Structure 1
Amino acid sequence: MKKTVFSFFFTCLGILISFSQNTNKDILYFPPLNNNEWETITMEETHWKTSEVEPLLNYIESKGTKAFIILKDGKIALEWYGNGADSNSVLPWYSAAKTLAAFTIGIAQNEGYLSIEDPSNNYLRKGWSSLTESQESKITVKHHLSMTTGLDYTVMNKNCTLPRCLTYKNAPGSFWYYHNAGYTKTHNIVAGAVKQSFESYFNEKLRDKIGMQGEWKRLGYAKPFYSNARSMARFGLLNLNKGIWNNTPILKDPEYFSAMVNTSQNQNESYGYLWWLNGKESYRLPGLTKKFDSKLIPNAPDDLIAGLGKNDQKLYVVPSKNIVVVRMGDKAKKTRFGPSNFDNELWEKLNKLID
């Protein structure tokens, strides 16, 4: 009798879990892959405050914005271009593109090419840093994803990926610092694991699967991604649906996806695998070692996850509201890094529209 009751209970629980996992997918719209069509949703249908649209657009235009998109349930609720840009403009993601690399590593792991628990020197060429072989062997792929490699962040050029620039400072996993060079090496990790260029693997496994456009371009030691705004919106929509495009899983590992968008280490609660996380009790910022006891973006929903790039490139994904927000353009505030006080200002304006 007990077995029957427990069997019935777990069957019902399984149905409920399955329903909760599919609910979002069932109401989300996905644009076609091979053309520029994208369904829209009116302000009346969203039940948002129409009177707040013009103040929001005036604000973003005054802040150097070139492209701005809000998706609701996957449909375009608001799309605006200005300051010399239009829908065809190719714009940089800067560090917001780190999220693309994190997603690609998840695909490579799911396909059996790598494990994020492995030492990264399994996939990088010998002597990729100035560390000893023993020191290198303690740095895992996960440390690169979580900004905890322990590489020296006091070097003159934190973007430099030459071995002479990559020296030891802390034990891997013991200290969080936003070190761009450690991130940039994730491209080489993927390439070494899959035995083809990072770009070609990314294009095949992610970009082309969801109808994105764009390419990675060399900029000094870094290689940012450039695309139109709708391509960023497509990637946001993919992550809103937990790595599934319409009915097609792009990232077939729910466990990795969950880890990617949750706290990845115990030094910066607001950082996952190259994603920024809101709603945590504290955060650290690029270029600083200080911890701030506050939410990353106090005005934004707690479940927001974000790709944040230099000059205020913003990709916000908010499951509780079923929205994606894209902002691309020139820097809005006097800041060089990803998170900025513009985030909080922008969400003050957005809340007036969507609340």
Structure 2
Amino acid sequence: MAPSSPLRAFLRRNRRAAIAVPTALTALVAGPWAATAALSLPSPLSLIRLSDTPPSQQGALFPARTVPASTKPVPLQQALRALPATVAWKDGRKNTRQFLKDTHTNAFLVLRDGQLIHEWYRDGVGAQTRHASWSTAKSVVSLLVGQSIAEGHLREDDLLVDLLPELKKGDAYDRITVRHLLDMSSGIDVSEDYSRIPLSGTPRMYLTTDLPNFIKDNRTLRFTPGSTSDYRSVDTQLLGQILHRVEGKSVAALLQERIWQPMGAEADATWNLDSEGGMEKSFCCLNATARDFAKIGQLVLDNGRAGDRQIVPQAWVDRLSTPVATMADGWGYSAQWWHPSGATGDFSAVGIYGQYIYVNPAKRTVIVKLSDHGTEQDEQETIDAMRDLSQNLHH
């Protein structure tokens, strides 16, 4: 589909984003400092710094909770080799290095059969650099939910308002289930439109210093829960709040205990909060190295196992790897993971600025691509390029 098509323009504004800080942010900065505080937003100076910082590094500007590296780190086994010289790109082929440059890639890792066969970083970025996840964090939250369900703390049929009673409204909102949140079918009306001043919708959720009150203030519905699916970051934020409530631990602590430690993460990660000591922005803001993001992909590829330990239940990997909903652009969706159109059994975590944890079970391949690609996105084309690489990797 041509990049200039109306559908493509719509999707750029609305799909698969954690949040894009709009250029109109400067309008907020021009107002008095008291206004941002009253609106539970960062200070004007913080907003200026945010607008001047590449998306991949914005995590350093917000309060965060540390996710310590594993006490028993497991380095990726390496069998480095060159990638194919070209990849499929739109209606033809493109030099692979040019593809990385043109899509503003910061880090690009390829694993085949659990071995790191290619690792590339742009100048100024390296193996120890932490990158903002944006919406790839949603797929990590999914793994934590699957673990909580397996341990009996949670069920997909549980009602949101039974788990978080303070959100009860006495209308259709009260019928939202964990399953609806997982598959983006809650109907909650929190816009994914990032073109306006961030006084509402997901832009406001990204910037707010008070997530619990934001959630309470945004309980209207666009459609009846379960009647259709429509991507909404608020669904994942609610999953994070549910995990915190039923487990009695922060989302960052759960990640460290149940994934980061047992899978052998090599570096500390951080998870951004709404305020100091506050609540994780579960819908976006996990910051980690490319190698540890690759370990997440390998964990899923290996059916939830890391070494000789089952970390994520096999049944949950089956759940997320089987699409159960179709979004407006034809991509499948299931439990916070994307199934791109033209699917060949592959699936991916995806973030707005070109973040991918791509998993291709048939080719035993994981590809991590972390970028600052901006509003271009080119998501389908990028997935097609990664499919092409998976198909043509030399043994």
- 1: CA distance, partners of 2:303 / 2:374: 30
Matched residue SS, 1:61: helix
Map residues 180-199 of structure 1 onto 2, 5 A cutoff: 180-199=233-252
Q: State yes or no: 1:277 paired with 2:319.
A: no
Q: Alpha-carbon deviation of 1:277?
A: 1.1
- Tell me: CA distance 1:71–1:154, structure 2 relative to 1, closer, same or farther (3 Å): closer
Aligned-pair distance for 1:39?
Answer: 1.9
Name the SS of the counterpart of 1:121 in structure 2.
Answer: helix
- What pairs up with 1:141-220 in 2 under 5 angstroms? 141-154=178-191, 156-158=200-202, 160=205, 161-212=214-265, 213=267, 214-218=269-273
8 A contact 2:84–2:392 mirrored in 1: no
Match of 1:94, SS state, is coil
Per-residue CA deviation, residues 70-124 of structure 1 (Å, 9 max, x unaligned), is 0011001101111421111100111011111001001011111111111022222
- The 5 A counterparts of 1:307-326 are 307-326=349-368
Q: Deviations over 1:299-347 (max 9, x none)?
A: xx61111000010001111111011000012116614xx9454333454
Is 1:126 matched with 2:187? no
Is the CA contact (8 Å cut-off) linking 1:150 and 1:170 kept in structure 2? yes
Which residue does 1:259 correspond to in 2?
319
Q: Tell me which amino acid in the other structure corresponds to 2:118.
A: L
| 2:114 maps to 1:71 | no
Alignment correspondent of 2:173: 136
Q: State, as a whole percentage, how many aligned pairs show the same letter.
A: 20
Which residue in the other structure is 2:78 paired with?
40
What is the distance in 1 between the residues matched to 2:138 and 2:125? 24
- 1:235 and 2:301 correspond: no
SS at match of 1:126: helix
Greater length-normalized contact order (CA 8 Å, ≥ 6 residues apart): 2
- Cα deviation for residue 236 of structure 1 reads 0.5
Q: Are the aligned partners of 2:77 and 2:115 in contact in 1 as well (CA < 8 Å)?
A: yes
Instruction: Say which SS state the counterpart of residue 254 (structure 2) adopts.
Output: helix
Aligned to 1:246: 307
Which one has the largest radius of gyration?
A: 1
Cα distance in 2 for residues equivalent to 1:272 and 1:234: 21
Q: Distance in 2 between matches of 1:152 and 1:62?
A: 35
Q: Is the 8 A contact 1:276 1:306 kept in 2?
A: yes
For the residue of structure 2 that corresponds to 1:262, the secondary structure is: coil
Q: CA deviation digits over 1:254-290, x for unaligned, max 9?
A: 3232112212346666101000013xxxxxxxxxxxx
When normalised by structure 2's length, the TM-score is 0.67
CA contact (8 A) 1:41 1:72 kept: no
**Residues 147 and 177 of structure 1 are in contact (CA less than 8 Å); yes or no, is this contact kept in structure 2?**
yes
SS of aligned partner of 1:99: helix
| Change in CA separation of 1:263 and 1:223 when aligned onto 2, cut-off 3 Å | closer
Structure 2 regions of 5+ residues with no counterpart? Answer: 1-69, 88-93, 193-199, 206-213, 276-280
CA contact (8 A) 1:173 1:265 kept: no
Aligned length: 294
Which residue identity is paired with 1:38?
Answer: L
> TM-score, normalised on structure 1?
0.74
Task: State which drifts further: 170-179 or 263-272.
Answer: 263-272
Q: Which whole-Å CA distance do the structure 1 matches of 2:358 and 2:284 have between them?
A: 22
Counterpart of 1:77, as a letter, is I
Query: Contact 1:243/1:250 (CA < 8 Å) preserved in 2?
Result: yes
Moved more, 61-70 or 317-326: 61-70
Deviation of 1:153 after TM superposition, in Å, equals: 4.3
Read off the aligned partner of 2:292 and give its amino acid letter: S
> What whole-Å deviation, never above 9, does each CA across 1:198-219 have from its counterpart, x for those lacking one?
2212210112111224121136
